Structure 1
Amino acid sequence: MNPVSNLKTSLLAGAFLLLTSGAASARYAAIVIDADSGRIVHEVESTQRWYPASLTKVMTIYMTFAAIEAGQLHLRDTLSVSAHAARQPTSKLGLRQGQAISVENAIMAVTTRSANDAAVVLAERLGGSESRFAAMMTQQARSMGMYNSSFQNASGLPDEGQISSARDLALLSAALIRDFPQYYRYFSATEFAYNGRVLPNTNKILKTYPDADGLKTGFTCGSGYNLIASARRDGHRLIGVLLGAHSSAERFQQMANLLDLGFEKSQLGAYGMPVDQLRDANFTPPPFQLSSNRCAGSAAQMGADSSSGAADPIRIKPGKSTRLAENRPVKTAEAKNRAAGGQWAVMLGDHGRKIDADVNLKQARYALGPAAKSGQPHIVRVKTKGRMLWRTEWMGLNSNQAKDFCKKIRSKGQSCTLLPG
């Protein structure tokens, strides 16, 4: 090889190292958008390419909804399970070859249990084969402006060619809610009854974050722990995407912080550009998030550095106006000051299920009318007499507001207890 060729090779190798090191150092990717306007509220590395894992299934279900609306498929249609679908690895519903499953049950299995076998059943029905359906998914992504996305399967199982970004997944989620509001409820279901079993939704954001009503979790060693979540508060909907958490608990906690930050910034009118206008020429490969621990073997198979992926925990600063500090003892003088300055609360009730607490909160908003703009509604997990319950509270009130709240709520036949600061 001549000196010029050697120089070119060295330059290309150096450029590749810069690109891959930049990708490997990407700690996480995140974005929050206003669902109605499509404007960005907050974002971090949102155009960085990432392995979508089971967030891929949002596109699978989007295309299923589109087929239903076009009359190509019906909720009560029955689908036959192929050998390929039955062979899918966990997570799965446990479908057997030759078994029949309805379209609606397949949808529910995907949205609540992230079932790979059910996703493939839908894909084969719509595309003839999973590979052809994946090509259809990529084509659909292109038509929606998801310029960083390419799909190789319907489930999100590991594949070097299956990539997306936080920005693209936010676009997709907004489109799903906008285009198919009548079917979005499948992503809000807290449980799935199938063959005599009641299976809980694996998306814990529905139980841990007030006003959250969907969407989807995802995990592979390459992607880390991913989450798309949508929350609606006072008629205002945000969509958040978080990619690359190092544990399931981290993704739910940091998504809560991400949504809190989003609601605070949106209340201030701090909007950025429309998400569909966000473009970036950074096409560096996706990082391999968990290659430093139990996923090191998978990292080697995917060509990633098995020593990479070690990083500090994600620390997204939560919004100040929407989440309250944990309860702590206060001195008598401080308690008096808080009571005078707007730190009263009212307790609306305890509930065995989070969905019942959500309903209680909505009923309270209806009873309060314009007064609901004061204070901060909150749902917290409490332990009472050995039972874990969901408690609905309204905090940040002064004494007069708290008394007026309870008066209005009780007039509608609902429970209300004053909690002085």
Structure 2
Amino acid sequence: MNAVPKKTLRLLSLAFLLSHSLSASARYAAIVMDADTGRVIHEVEAAHRWYPASLTKVMTIYMTFQAIEAGRLRLNEMLTVSAHAARQPSSRLGLRRGQSISVENAIMAVTTRSANDAAVLLAERLGGSEANFASMMTQQAHSMSMYSSAFHNASGLPDEGQISSARDLALLSAALIRDFPQYYRYFSATEFAYKGRVLPNTNKILKTYPDADGLKTGFTCGSGYNLIASAKRDGRRLIGVLLGAHSSAERFKQMGNLLDLGFEKAQAGVAGMRVEQLVDASYEPPPFQLSSNRCAGSAEQMGADSGSGSSEAIDIRPNHPSRQAAKRSVKSRYARVESSHSDWAVMLGDHRRKTDADVELKKARHVLGATGNSGQPQVVRQKIKGKQLWRTEWSGLDQNEARSYCKKLRSRGFECTLLPGNA
């Protein structure tokens, strides 16, 4: 066997390190959709698989509402706490084995306090066991076109097989609001009074964003800090999902920005694809978002190493001076608006692997820095001569911006091709 030249080995090692760096680096997934039309207004990796953490409980409660409406469960029914439910780790209500709690209080404990013990208690009542209920959850998800989702428990505690996506969770949230408007108030409550204590809702978006009226928080080391929020303004209801923030404060701040961005784009008349049309062709495993040295317990359960997850911040900026260009970019991408001024693009290259395209896009972002604030950077799947390729491009630019971007990128060794509007 011929030895591999040292130069080739170095290049292969560099490619591996870049690919590994990408999979370990900070990422996030997000979506904003119109709850009434099911149209996507904004998304970033929305179909990519992710660990849902306690956002899982939205499905647990959806199925609880189903059972109540079908007459198989009553709000005032008393449930007896099992040993399994009582053993659940935090966050929890502190239920003890043999104790009784009403279905309504269990729902409130889940929606306001994200109580794992209450979620398991409801699961056992509806499925006979938590494991059986988890199978029912997965079946329910697939019946709702949540094809990236699989559930192994009712709470969202760390499990390699417990996966979903921002797209799927947006679908679920829209279904919950549509199918059970009479019960949505449980996700809007700002506090929960239980046994002489008044417990505040962990979902601070209800207090920090004026138009928000629900839904749910979630956190594990694997997922990062997650949030689903719904807000209504001028008769339009939006649902936002943000997965992978690096702190609780970041998720609330960036969700506010995400919803602002959604309302701005909706007002501008963005007509996106239906949420069901978003697909993840990569089938990559969920990223592990936070490092094991920050979250040793659940990280070790899921096999993370100390290098998992960087602290690169999420930055969603709806009020940037170039927001009009961003709106035009989104219109061009989703609604095929015929415009000759802001639909120029720069193409950096085609790659056989999405990870290589992602690396190139990340490097281009770094080179452009603050000058790269206009338009829409993206990795787009292409089929050329029967082969699937991943194209790195920057769309939604005017002619001068496109020329400026290419000039700067070429000066740093990038191949850059101008793609004129209406080309």
Same fold (TM over 0.5): yes
- Asked if 1:46 is matched to 2:29, the reply is no
Give runs of ≥4 in structure 1 deviating > 6 Å: 14-20
SS at match of 1:229: strand
Looking at structure 2, the residues matched to 19 and 262 of structure 1 have their Cα atoms a distance apart, in angstroms, of 32
Distance apart, 1:165 and its partner CA: 0.6
**Does the 8 A contact of 1:49 with 1:164 survive in 2?**
yes
Summarize the Cα distance change of 1:276–1:226 in structure 2 as closer, same or farther, 3 Å threshold: same
Counterparts in 2 of 1:261-272, with a 5 A limit?
Answer: 261-272=261-272
Distance apart, 1:291 and its partner CA: 1.0
SS at match of 2:231: strand
Distance apart, 1:292 and its partner CA: 5.6
- Asked if 1:141 is matched to 2:141, the reply is yes
Distance apart, 1:269 and its partner CA: 1.0
SS at match of 2:213: strand
Q: Deviations over 1:331-360 (max 9, x none)?
A: xxxxxxxxxxxxxxxxxxxxxxxxxxxxxx
Other-structure match for 2:240: 240
SS at match of 2:317: coil
Summarize the Cα distance change of 1:157–1:16 in structure 2 as closer, same or farther, 3 Å threshold: farther
Counterparts in 2 of 1:13-412, with a 5 A limit?
Answer: 22-25=22-25, 27-291=27-291, 293-296=293-296, 298-319=298-319
Looking at structure 1, the residues matched to 267 and 157 of structure 2 have their Cα atoms a distance apart, in angstroms, of 38
Summarize the Cα distance change of 1:44–1:50 in structure 2 as closer, same or farther, 3 Å threshold: same
Of 106-115 and 287-296, deviating more is: 287-296
How many residue pairs get aligned? The number is 312
SS at match of 1:169: helix
Distance apart, 1:273 and its partner CA: 0.2
**Does the 8 A contact of 2:209 with 2:256 survive in 1?**
yes
Other-structure match for 2:410: none
Summarize the Cα distance change of 1:85–1:40 in structure 2 as closer, same or farther, 3 Å threshold: same
Summarize the Cα distance change of 1:94–1:147 in structure 2 as closer, same or farther, 3 Å threshold: same
Other-structure match for 1:402: none
Looking at structure 1, the residues matched to 18 and 106 of structure 2 have their Cα atoms a distance apart, in angstroms, of 44
TM-score by structure 2 length?
Answer: 0.70
Structure 2, unpaired ranges of 5+: 1-13, 324-423
Looking at structure 1, the residues matched to 15 and 88 of structure 2 have their Cα atoms a distance apart, in angstroms, of 38
SS at match of 1:279: coil
Letter in 1 for 2:72: Q
Distance apart, 1:288 and its partner CA: 1.1
Looking at structure 2, the residues matched to 266 and 320 of structure 1 have their Cα atoms a distance apart, in angstroms, of 17
Counterparts in 2 of 1:405-420, with a 5 A limit?
Answer: none
Looking at structure 1, the residues matched to 60 and 259 of structure 2 have their Cα atoms a distance apart, in angstroms, of 25
**Does the 8 A contact of 1:28 with 1:243 survive in 2?**
yes
Summarize the Cα distance change of 1:110–1:235 in structure 2 as closer, same or farther, 3 Å threshold: same
TM-score by structure 1 length?
Answer: 0.71
SS at match of 2:66: helix
Looking at structure 1, the residues matched to 170 and 75 of structure 2 have their Cα atoms a distance apart, in angstroms, of 26
Looking at structure 2, the residues matched to 143 and 231 of structure 1 have their Cα atoms a distance apart, in angstroms, of 26
Summarize the Cα distance change of 1:247–1:241 in structure 2 as closer, same or farther, 3 Å threshold: same
Letter in 1 for 2:307: S
Looking at structure 2, the residues matched to 276 and 18 of structure 1 have their Cα atoms a distance apart, in angstroms, of 32
SS at match of 1:254: helix
**Does the 8 A contact of 1:32 with 1:240 survive in 2?**
yes
Of 56-65 and 309-318, deviating more is: 309-318
Q: Deviations over 1:9-61 (max 9, x none)?
A: xxxxx999998765434611100000000000000011111110000000000
Distance apart, 1:196 and its partner CA: 1.1
Looking at structure 2, the residues matched to 263 and 111 of structure 1 have their Cα atoms a distance apart, in angstroms, of 25
Distance apart, 1:303 and its partner CA: 2.1
SS at match of 2:243: strand
Q: Deviations over 1:77-126 (max 9, x none)?
A: 11110000001001111111111111100000000000000000100000
Letter in 2 for 1:27: R
Distance apart, 1:295 and its partner CA: 1.7
Summarize the Cα distance change of 1:108–1:221 in structure 2 as closer, same or farther, 3 Å threshold: same
Summarize the Cα distance change of 1:20–1:301 in structure 2 as closer, same or farther, 3 Å threshold: farther
SS at match of 1:265: helix
Letter in 2 for 1:107: I
Summarize the Cα distance change of 1:35–1:123 in structure 2 as closer, same or farther, 3 Å threshold: same
Looking at structure 2, the residues matched to 232 and 206 of structure 1 have their Cα atoms a distance apart, in angstroms, of 12
Looking at structure 2, the residues matched to 232 and 223 of structure 1 have their Cα atoms a distance apart, in angstroms, of 27
Percentage identity across paired residues of the two chains: 81
Looking at structure 1, the residues matched to 165 and 98 of structure 2 have their Cα atoms a distance apart, in angstroms, of 36
SS at match of 2:271: coil
Summarize the Cα distance change of 1:158–1:16 in structure 2 as closer, same or farther, 3 Å threshold: farther
Looking at structure 1, the residues matched to 293 and 19 of structure 2 have their Cα atoms a distance apart, in angstroms, of 23
Summarize the Cα distance change of 1:37–1:239 in structure 2 as closer, same or farther, 3 Å threshold: same
RMSD of aligned alpha carbons: 2.4
**Does the 8 A contact of 1:19 with 1:285 survive in 2?**
no
Other-structure match for 2:5: none
**Does the 8 A contact of 1:113 with 1:202 survive in 2?**
yes
